[in-house]
Amino acid sequence: MFENNSDIENSKCLQQFCQILPKIELHAHLNGALSKKTLDDLYKMKYPEKTDTCEAFNFASLKEVFEVFNIVYSVTTTPEAVFIATYNTIKEFYEDNVIYLELRSTPRAENGMTKTEYVLAILKAIETCQTEKIDIIVKLLISINRKQGYKAAKENIHLAIDMCKEYKNIVGIDLSGDPTKGEAFIELLYQARKAGLKIAAHCAEVANEVECMNILKFKPERLGHGTCIHQHSNGSERLYQTLLDSKIPVEICLTSNVKCKTVANYSSHHFKYLYESKHPVCICTDDKGVFDTTLSKEFTLAVEHFNLNKSHLVNLMKSTVNYAFASDIEKNKMIEIIDNFKNVWI
Ligand code: 6MZ
């Protein structure tokens, strides 16, 4: 990858640049984002008598990664735990110089906790961070897990529609879950859209031309992954052209796709085709805890594998502002922060 010492120096400098760059995170699953420290703290809280720590993550494919979430779920079973999980996660993104964060999470009813209580615990953590002047804007997308079926999806959509009237931080719906199971619930997504919620839909994480076309026809505000759309990544020319024509921004999750083996390696990641076609893209972490990454690391990988320079990174970040489910005032504030940074560092 590096030709000589000055390349290495340059790379170190770009790595530091990625760290200090004010960043925008648009694709972060709460239960996938928990750091080892947060998991261990929650484990101790749940099992005070035990001396070991939370089980290590072990997976070798996309299929296996969905098992890993059950480890996390075993410690986020109370509103207190969900509060701590959210609070710590927001702080960690903030410490990575993230200025705007969209968290997404699937409400769970278990152990006497209701789905409403689950969502309220997340909102309380967001509010607490605001009160403590942690300078990061945080929004919430309510997720529907395609594997859990229609009834659960409908419940989550209706919960989001009801709660977003009072809680303005709830701005959208995320369609996610194991892409080999269940369906996309497009009829429910239309209901959410009618109620004013924005939609971010996982799409083509595995090859499924019919479903992908249906999602593209629905035109979500953003697409997650978009892996198997290009003809060189198990998609087709027709699908890729439909995506390009749609101009729907794609949330790119480099480490997630490589670790789940849905793309062979970083250099052949579909980010390359999309970026070269000038299609709207944003770089995201997906599950920073599960994949042991940070948003800075994801930008560093983009620099290393796709030859991006400082100006490219700043431009990428500024265009990402447009895809955020934020108000115009918030978007203007983000642009101002990025422009100020650019004036100092470029
Ligand atoms: C699809 C994913 C995902 O909602 O409990 N999730 N869905 N593809 C992925 N790529 C690896 N990564 C995470 O966070 C965990 C849930 O997010 C979805 C899965 O449904 C997972 O159970 P929450 O906060």
Helix (H, G, I), strand (E, B) or coil at 31: helix
DSSP 8-state symbol, 56: P
Ligand 1 centroid – CA 146 distance (Å): 10
Say what the pTM is.
Answer: 0.97
Q: Which amino acid is at 188?
A: L
CB-based contact 174:223 (threshold 8 Å): no
Q: What is the pLDDT of residue 4?
A: 62
Reported ipTM: 1.00
Read off φ and ψ for residue 26, nearest 5 degrees.
-110, -5
Q: Where are the beta strands (DSSP E) in the chain?
A: 23-29, 98-105, 137-145, 170-176, 198-203, 222-225, 250-252, 281-283
Q: What is the pLDDT of residue 10?
A: 79
Q: What is the pLDDT of residue 5?
A: 64
Q: What is the pLDDT of residue 81?
A: 98
Residue matched to tokens 């940074």:
341
22 token code pair: 């004010």
Handedness of CA 341, 344, 345, 346 (dihedral sign): positive
How far is Cα of residue 225 from the mean position of the Cα atoms in its chain? 10
CB-based contact 290:36 (threshold 8 Å): no
Question: Which residue's CA lies nearest to atom 20 of ligand 1?
Answer: 177
Instruction: Give, for all 346 residues of the chain, the pLDDT tens digit.
Output: 445 667 666 778 999 999 999 999 999 999 999 999 999 999 999 999 999 999 889 999 999 999 999 999 999 999 999 999 999 999 999 999 999 999 999 999 999 999 999 999 999 999 999 999 999 999 999 999 999 999 999 999 999 999 999 999 999 999 999 999 999 999 999 999 999 999 999 999 999 999 999 999 999 999 999 999 999 999 999 999 999 999 999 999 999 999 999 999 999 999 999 999 999 999 999 999 999 999 999 999 999 999 999 999 999 999 999 999 999 999 999 999 999 999 999 8
β-pairing, 23-29 vs 198-203, is unpaired
Question: Which residue's CA lies nearest to atom 18 of ligand 1?
Answer: 177
Ligand 1 atom nearest to 69, measured from its CA: 22
- Quote the CA–CA distance of 51 and 30 in Å, as a whole number: 26
Q: Comparing C-alpha atoms, which of 83, 88, 75, 90 is closest to residue 40? A: 75
Sheet holding 137-145, edge to edge: 23-29, 98-105, 137-145, 170-176, 198-203, 222-225, 250-252, 281-283
> Ligand 1 test: best mutation among 64, 66, 89, 262, most atoms within 8 Å of CB?
66
Handedness of CA 30, 36, 40, 43 (dihedral sign): positive
Ligand 1 centroid – CA 29 distance (Å): 6
**Structural domains of the chain in order of their starting residue, each with its CATH number:** 22-306 (3.20.20.140)
Q: Which residues line ligand 1 (CB under 6 A)?
A: 29-32, 65, 69, 105-106, 143, 145, 176-177, 202, 205, 256, 260, 286-287
Question: Which residue's CA lies nearest to atom 2 of ligand 1?
Answer: 177
Active site residues: 205
Helix (H, G, I), strand (E, B) or coil at 176: strand
Q: CA-CA distances (angstroms) from residue 156 to 105, 122, 191, 263, 312?
A: 10, 15, 12, 31, 38
Instruction: Establish how many alpha carbons lie within 13 A of residue 182's alpha carbon, considering only the half-sphere containing its beta carbon.
Output: 19
Helix (H, G, I), strand (E, B) or coil at 77: coil
CB-based contact 39:289 (threshold 8 Å): yes
Ligand 1 centroid – CA 304 distance (Å): 27
Q: Where are the beta strands (DSSP E) in 160-272?
A: 170-176, 198-203, 222-225, 250-252
Q: What is the pLDDT of residue 267?
A: 95
